[in-house]
Amino acid sequence: MGIMDRVRGELVDIIEWLDDSRSTMAWRFPRYNNEIKNGAQLIVREGQEALFVYRGQLADRYGPGNYQLVSENMPIMSTLQGWPHGFKSPFRSEVYFINSRPITDLRWGTPNPITIRDNDFGMVQVRANGLCVVRVVDAPTFLRQVIGTDSNVDSDEIAELLRRTISTAFSEMLIETGVGAIDLQARQRELAAKLQEYVQSKIAQQYGLACEAIEMNISLPDEITQAMTRGVARGVEEKGYYGNVGDMNRFQQGRAADSMLGAATNEGGGGAGQFMGAGMGMAMGQQFAQNFQNQQGQGAQQQGAGQQGAGQPGPPPLPNVPAFHIEKDGQSAGPFRVEQLRGMNLTPDTLVWAPSLSEWTPAGQVPALASLFGQTPPPLPPRA
């Protein structure tokens, strides 16, 4: 190799970054021991930004375009190095290319469950995961806080940083909003937008990043999911939440019954499992029968109260007022009170029945119905 070839190899005349991946967020131009010569070409493509760092201090910044590196195009570098106008000698500088395109494949999730206080279930632990879309909006801040002296920064390197930030923001958001455990999944889209605001406020000034979108999937404990699926507490469907303690008691009874059933059906349990199954069947039968009776009594009371409150017909007939079934078109109809039968055009031959009669009897033979038919006067006495 000749002297001119060695000199040509030590001077950099084209600075550019060709990257076909979408996961690299920053890349340092590999200058090694080479120097950048005066008048070198800098090519910055769309979605990129170039930063010159001289002795650890940020100098000039360049957006998309083609630049010739001369003192007129490098005002900060000229000041730091004390260049005269139109310098001729090569110079040393670190060049970082920043990817300003959105990074769309960042997955996040809460490493540990988040504990929230719920009015219906007490302390509930929830988890969340999803996707996050970020991009670099403040290259100098990203250089100082994230890149440091790394030659290459991949999206995987900031994924853990974002996971911690999003997890903290998710916990703060749940505490501030106070959304109940059952409403979390129904309001996931609304909560995702609010979570994006929380994350954006944390990563903008600290890391020079912007959170452009967040997708979120909230996971509830298995116990609550099973309660919602099986419909143990009907208050979820009627009110949207568990409105009383009775539903929770039923839920706990159901969980205890499932546990006992699993122990009884265990093949390895032997005679003990069969004995437990027999005892469990008797206990559960008695408990379910008692619960059914209580529910029937409560339902009847609620139905009666609801009918009276809605303006339904008055109370049933008085206990001592007789009522009769009548034969109509070959079928039984009724029961009807005497006042109701008065306008039905009954004949003395119409068959009627009441608990006081042993069988169907013509109406004309029932004393209680005699007022429905015209009275036939007795025959006149004979004349003397």
> Residue 162 maps to which CATH number?
3.30.479.30
Long-range pairs of 80-83 with CB within 8 A, sequence gap ≥ 24: 80/54, 80/55, 81/54
Residue 182 neighbours by CB distance under 10 Å: 21
Query: Which residues in the chain come in under a pLDDT of 70?
Result: 1-12, 32-34, 84-86, 227-228, 230-321, 374-379, 384
Give the per-residue pLDDT at 60.
Answer: 92
> Is 379 inside any structural domain?
no
> Is 235 inside any structural domain?
no
Strands 323-328 and 331-337: antiparallel
203 in the same domain as 187 = yes
* 214 torsion bin: left (phi>0), alpha (psi -120 to 50), beta (else): beta
> Is 161 inside any structural domain?
yes
147 in the same domain as 44 = no
Instruction: Give the separation between CA 27 and CA 323, rounded to whole angstroms.
Output: 98
> Is 248 inside any structural domain?
no
Give the per-residue pLDDT at 226.
Answer: 75
Instruction: Give the separation between CA 95 and CA 59, rounded to whole angstroms.
Output: 10
111 in the same domain as 8 = no
107 in the same domain as 219 = yes
| Sequence-ordered list of residues with C-beta below 8 angstroms from that of 302, at least 6 positions apart, any chain | none
Instruction: Give the separation between CA 85 and CA 161, rounded to whole angstroms.
Output: 44
Instruction: Give the separation between CA 75 and CA 92, rounded to whole angstroms.
Output: 15
Convert the pLDDT of each residue in 106-160 to its tens digit.
888 888 888 888 777 778 888 888 999 999 999 999 999 998 878 888 888 888 8
3-state helix, strand, coil in the chain (%, to 5): 45, 25, 30
Residue that the structure tokens 């406020």 belong to: 201
> Is 307 inside any structural domain?
no
Give the per-residue pLDDT at 320.
Answer: 60
140 in the same domain as 155 = yes
Phi, then psi, of 25 in degrees rounded to 5: -100, -25
According to the 3-state scheme, what is the secondary structure of 50-119? EEEEECCEEEEEECCEEEEECHHHCHHHHHHHCCCCCCCCCECCEEEEEECCCEEEEEEECCCCEEEEEC
138 in the same domain as 50 = no
| Sequence-ordered list of residues with C-beta below 8 angstroms from that of 210, at least 6 positions apart, any chain | 134, 135, 136, 137, 200, 203, 204
pTM (2 d.p.): 0.54
Q: At which of 228, 256, 291 does a domain end?
A: 228
200 in the same domain as 93 = no
Q: At which of 38, 67, 99 does a domain end?
A: 99
| Residue 131, strand partner residues | 107, 215
177 in the same domain as 78 = no
> Is 43 inside any structural domain?
yes
Give the per-residue pLDDT at 65.
Answer: 94
Convert the pLDDT of each residue in 13-29 to its tens digit.
789 998 877 789 999 99
Residue 57 structural domain: 3-99
Q: At which of 70, 99, 128 does a domain end?
A: 99
Give the per-residue pLDDT at 272.
Answer: 43
112 in the same domain as 92 = no
Inter-residue contact 138 to 203 (CB < 8 Å): no
122 in the same domain as 22 = no
Phi, then psi, of 101 in degrees rounded to 5: -80, 155
82 in the same domain as 121 = no
Interhelix angle 188-207/155-177, nearest 10 degrees: 130
Give the per-residue pLDDT at 64.
Answer: 94
Q: Say how far residue 377 (Cα) sits from the centre of its chain.
A: 85
> Is 275 inside any structural domain?
no
> Is 273 inside any structural domain?
no
Give the per-residue pLDDT at 139.
Answer: 93
Strand order in the sheet with 11-15: 11-15, 35-44, 65-69
SS3 for 49?
Answer: strand
27 in the same domain as 130 = no
Residue 251 neighbours by CB distance under 10 Å: 19
Give the per-residue pLDDT at 237.
Answer: 45
Number of domains present in the structure of the chain: 3
